[in-house]
Structure 1
Amino acid sequence: MELFLPLEKQELIIACQRISFVFTSVLNVLSLYCILTKTAANQSGVRAYLLFIQILIVLTSVHNDVLFCSIPAFPAIAGFCLGWLCMIGLPPHSLEGVFIFLMALTCVAIMSCTLYRHQSIIPDTNPLRVSKSPYNISWIAGCGPFYIHRRTTGLLFAIYMSKTYLFIFTAVVLLLFWHMLFVLKNATNQSPSSVNIVRQSLIVLFIQIEVPLIMMMTPGCLLMTSIACECIPCKVTLPAYAALVLHPLSHNIILLTATPGYRRFIFRTL
């Protein structure tokens, strides 16, 4: 199906972007000035978040309206760009990725600001209140270069989002493998021997990548849960961390032993 964006619409989009950039730039300057000088004293904590969000808005505006200047061709996942960076030869895919990253970072900043305000309002006795870490770990300062992260709502939010992503990602991979095996099981246009060969290759691929993924995800989720709830003892988390550190070793062992061609090569070499 042919999809064509008339020249008139292209020019209209470009004109709207340029006009929008002019007005947005004026409002960006005004917003930055107000945030820096007119924010109420009792909102000093929120001001840092508002300033960061506003800086992201400025960067997004400059990138999308001047540097990238994308003309999409929806509903196709395609388009072209006329921005300065496009004209000097930078790849549009990378510029599109920067735009998506800025939008995503803005969403994260807004959520962080909301969580900060939420924690500043609810009482200490509220079950949703994030408590400070009760552990005294000052001794690590004498062991060498060290790192200590504050237990903040933003950090906990990132942990919960990471766990959710890992579960969804793993579930999607499992469903895709299940669907491939299901399609092969009901295939009628291939011989049984061909289906069996493809099925065996899928099983090998599953062992090559999905088993290491589960071996990485399980201790990773356990460690993130430990940080979030502080309810898993160190004698459990340390082995989980060891399993995570040893993941590259286990991944290579599984890859080399599960693949018949690799396994035969190693045995012949030995």
Structure 2
Amino acid sequence: MSIYLPLHVQNAIAFAQHVLFVITTILNAIALFCLLKQTPPYQAGIRKYLIFIQISLIAVDVFIDLLTSPIALFPALGGYCVGILCQAGLSPKTVIGLICVMLTNIAVAILFCVIFKHQTLMLPCSKFKLS
């Protein structure tokens, strides 16, 4: 099966990615501002985990939308990237590996947040209390 993607379609996809990046950047900035300035004092314990999640999301947005700019080839299970890192000669395996590491970082941040909330709900005498 051969797939042809005209240049104007590729440019339209890249433009849509940049528009979505601008929108998510604005929303991420608002969320980070609220976390830094509007968090009540009794939420200070979980605040650091939420800030870690938010910063991880911003890093993934910048990496995917600006530095790699992937173009998916549907219905085929494939794609290529046209971003800065790909034009600089970074191999697709390295790009995919970095994306997996960054997404794993978000998963770990969410896990830290869930464990923290779980531990705050545990009674001090519970066998599930870690500390």
> TM-score scaled to structure 2, two decimals?
0.88
Deviation at 1:27, TM superposition (A): 1.3
2: distance between equivalents of 1:114 and 1:128?
Answer: 14
- 1:199-218 alignment to 2 at 5 Å? none
Q: Aligned AA for 1:4?
A: I
Question: Matched residue of 1:126: which SS?
Answer: coil
Name whichever structure is richer in helix by fraction. 1
Distance 1:3 1:35, change over 3 A: farther
1: distance between equivalents of 2:101 and 2:46?
Answer: 23
Deviation at 1:79, TM superposition (A): 1.5
In structure 1, list runs of 5 or more residues that go unmatched. Answer: 133-270
In structure 2, list runs of 5 or more residues that go unmatched. Answer: none
Give percent identity, aligned residues only.
33
Deviation at 1:72, TM superposition (A): 2.1
Deviation at 1:15, TM superposition (A): 2.2
2: distance between equivalents of 1:4 and 1:76?
Answer: 8
Q: What is the match of residue 112 of structure 1?
A: 112
Q: Is the 8 A contact 1:5 1:73 kept in 2?
A: no
Question: Matched residue of 2:126: which SS?
Answer: coil
Q: What is the match of residue 61 of structure 1?
A: 61
1: distance between equivalents of 2:41 and 2:120?
Answer: 15
Distance 1:117 1:100, change over 3 A: same
Q: Which has the larger radius of gyration?
A: 1
Q: What is the match of residue 4 of structure 1?
A: 3
Q: What is the match of residue 29 of structure 2?
A: 29
Q: What is the match of residue 80 of structure 1?
A: 80
Question: Matched residue of 1:128: which SS?
Answer: coil
> TM-score scaled to structure 1, two decimals?
0.45
Post-superposition CA distance 1:199-247 (Å, at most 9, x none): xxxxxxxxxxxxxxxxxxxxxxxxxxxxxxxxxxxxxxxxxxxxxxxxx
2: distance between equivalents of 1:108 and 1:75?
Answer: 31
2: distance between equivalents of 1:118 and 1:9?
Answer: 47
Q: Is the 8 A contact 1:119 1:129 kept in 2?
A: yes
- 1:122-201 alignment to 2 at 5 Å? 122-130=122-130, 132=131
Name which structure has the greater RCO, CA cutoff 8 Å, separation 6+: 2
2: distance between equivalents of 1:35 and 1:3?
Answer: 48
Deviation at 1:31, TM superposition (A): 1.4
1: distance between equivalents of 2:100 and 2:71?
Answer: 15
Q: Aligned AA for 1:58?
A: I
